[in-house]
Structure 1
Amino acid sequence: MTIGLTGGGTGGHIYPALAVLEHLRAIAAPPRTIYLGARGGREESLAQAYGLTFIGLSARKIQRLMSPDTLWTLAVLFRGYLQARRALQRIQPDAILGTGGYVAAAACLAAAHLQIPVILHEQNAVPGRTNLWLARKARRICVSFRGTEAAFPAGMAIWTGVPIRSDIVSTSAKAEARTHFGIPCGAFVILVLGGSQGSAAINATVRKAVSQLPEDAYVLHQTGDGDNPESPSADSRYLPRGYFDRTDLPLAYRSADLVLSRAGASSLAEIAANELPSILVPYPYAYADHQTVNAGAFVEAGAAALIPQSDLSADRLISEFHRSMSDRSGLVAMARAAAGLAARGAAEAVADEVMKAAGR
């Protein structure tokens, strides 16, 4: 038996597929697994790191507004579809799991045309264009937020939550995790995450705020691969990293007392699994403003505070940090609310749907 995984563009589309992979590999007589992704994309190096056969496809993001470049983009995507079709005809997988992104559209459409069962996973509270377009060609759609089922054809969607890898919650003691980053055990640690690609707005604002932090506060900051992670000052309490790898990210969560983050679905799922309070700054240009809707579920549950990017400033951040540090009981309540939002069996549930579609 062979299972295909496809998704790309951002970590939010890639990591759920890799979390499902863990469960596929854990079952008796695990299937062979392949990954179809954008050639040269982040998914290529990650798939290879996980020991997957990687099939590189041509892919390009479609801009929302028509332009002279649109026809070229469509041509690239059509080439990716033909590449996927040829690869799937050769390999003949028993099912395909698509986790979003334009490369997944090409691979899942090719699979559907070849009568290969397609399972989709929708990470966000507002479904993306790719999954809405592919929905009628899918065997099953797994959604991450309760109520999102209604956006898809009746009876097609089920709630599973966002698959996250099993080791995202570190078993290390908090003191041990902090020692890994050179942070004192008694510090108040703010973990800053801007998503897999970083956030220029969050990065710039945090750097302006660093000098005004309370003395016992440390900032552990994932700035993104494209950012220069140099400290703006000699302040040893500001610890920038371009990117947290598989080992460091669980330790970063374990070190944290509070998270400042975008509101991508995978980031929220990891925050909930680690039972952490958060301040969320949704990316305002996401399709259908879905990050604001994602964040709303956490705010409504009492698990997070919300700062619209239009209101983001160093003064606002410092005010929120001081408020959080002075209200430890409030942080505990937020952490409990976050824990209540964790979907701990999501990866296994999606893997089960994939195996059912494959006939096992």
Structure 2
Amino acid sequence: MQTYKFILSGGGTGGHIYPAIAIANELKARFPNAEFLFVGAHDKMEMQKVPQAGYQIKGLWISGLQRRLTFDNTLFPIKLMSSLIKARKIIKEFKPNIVIGTGGFASGPLLHVAALSNIPTVIQEQNSYPGITNKLLSKRADKIFIAYENLEHFFPKEKMILTGNPVRQDFLDINSKRSEAMSYFNLDDNKKTLLILGGSLGSKRINLLIAEKLNFLLDLGIQIFWQCGNSYMTEYKHFSETQDVQVVSFIDRMDLIYAAADFVISRAGASSVSELCLVAKPTIFIPSPNVAEDHQTKNGKAIVDKNGALLIKESELNDNFESVFNRLLYDENLQNNLSDNMKKLAKPNATKDIVDEIIKLIQSPSS
């Protein structure tokens, strides 16, 4: 039996890292003897998260161009050349059957070199508005897995396959984990639980909001599990001393916290949106406006337009947050409708569908 070799590259944020890990896990389940190598940016979070998931990773000296003139921008050509040279060495030594990119700057040099070496390449685009790396790579990619429709303006139509975003399979049966979840996180089963998600890096604006509205929320008789992000932990950890509030930098068992949550306040990053569609908890999206082409708002609106979630723009939080949350908390019909409609938008087979297409590509006679 042939032993396949897979390289996966994506990083910078959890939205690029965890889809790559989900794809690798599914490939590993089907090909237990396969070899895997991840490639990321040497100073980004993938260098910790990928080894924690059990995979080897190598780092490239690469970063994106800043919107303003900085010293890092002057180094970009040098970093790019260095990364292309190292990517060429990695490809030559590892000899992958295919290279899989999930976005982030490190995937650019690697997939570019792989395509020039006639190695099959695929990219997975999580967002409704593609990043610059995937747009550039799409010209040479063999297949492009997308999570949203109407991306013909960005990618060749004949290469696109609508799959949804890969998510971990342990999100598929959270209803059976409620009791375990309440015990694991030491939560009170007699109180409703509000889960706050600021994305893998945390959200300054959401953290400010929750700190400001904490008394309002606690007066409603709920308990709060608040993921603030590692860089904000020092500033907000003292709120854990408050009864019915837990503040954490990172959540190690997302399946369990989703099982425990009754309501969710979240950024609208692509992976978070896909996960929340699977678990279908009543959700308020607060999109980050500080991303390319405001794609988080587009991600969130794709769910809101189908009556699957509520959304508050950052600019409207001061005026609208309390009224919107009160409405969600006390209107059970709204809660049920949001959950039912969100569930209809889930694509639980995304990871398997992507891997099916990858296998077709590596087992085709031309590969």
TM norm structure 1: 0.94
**Quick check: 1:309 aligned with 2:314?**
yes
Q: Distance in 1 between matches of 2:80 and 2:281?
A: 39
**Quick check: 1:70 aligned with 2:77?**
no
Gaps of 5+ in 2: none
Q: Distance in 2 between matches of 1:54 and 1:140?
A: 24
The partner residue of 2:61 within 58, 61, 83 is 58
Equivalent residue, structure 2, for 1:287: 292
TM-aligned CA distance change 1:89 to 1:202, over 3 Å: same
Q: Deviation at 1:317?
A: 2.6
**Quick check: 1:188 aligned with 2:192?**
yes
Q: Deviation at 1:319?
A: 2.2
Q: Deviations over 1:199-232 (max 9, x none)?
A: 0100011011111123421111100011124144
**Quick check: 1:163 aligned with 2:162?**
no
Q: Distance in 2 between matches of 1:188 and 1:242?
A: 22
Could you tell me which amino acid in structure 2 is paired with residue 195 of structure 1? Answer: G
TM norm structure 2: 0.93
Size of the aligned set, in residue pairs, is: 357
Q: Distance in 2 between matches of 1:234 and 1:66?
A: 42
TM-aligned CA distance change 1:149 to 1:17, over 3 Å: farther
Could you tell me which amino acid in structure 1 is paired with residue 244 of structure 2? Answer: R
Q: Deviations over 1:118-175 (max 9, x none)?
A: 1000000011111111111100000011222453113011100000011134364424
Q: Deviation at 1:28?
A: 4.6
The partner residue of 1:143 within 135, 146, 151 is 146
**Quick check: 1:129 aligned with 2:132?**
yes
Q: Deviations over 1:83-113 (max 9, x none)?
A: 1111101111010000000011111111112
Q: Deviations over 1:36-80 (max 9, x none)?
A: 111232212222223222222112121134555423123212211
1:1-360 correspondence to structure 2 within 5 Å: 1-28=4-31, 30-67=33-70, 69-169=72-172, 170=174, 172-213=176-217, 214-228=219-233, 229-232=236-239, 234-245=241-252, 248-313=253-318, 316-359=320-363
Tell me the SS of whatever aligns to 1:72: helix
Gaps of 5+ in 1: none
User: 2:98, 2:119 within 8 Å by CA — same for their partners in 1?
Assistant: yes
Q: Is 269-278 or 228-237 further displaced after alignment?
A: 228-237
Could you tell me which amino acid in structure 2 is paired with residue 95 of structure 1? Answer: I
Q: Distance in 1 between matches of 2:153 and 2:238?
A: 46
User: 1:211, 1:235 within 8 Å by CA — same for their partners in 2?
Assistant: no
Structure 1 vs Structure 2: percent identity of aligned residues?
A: 32
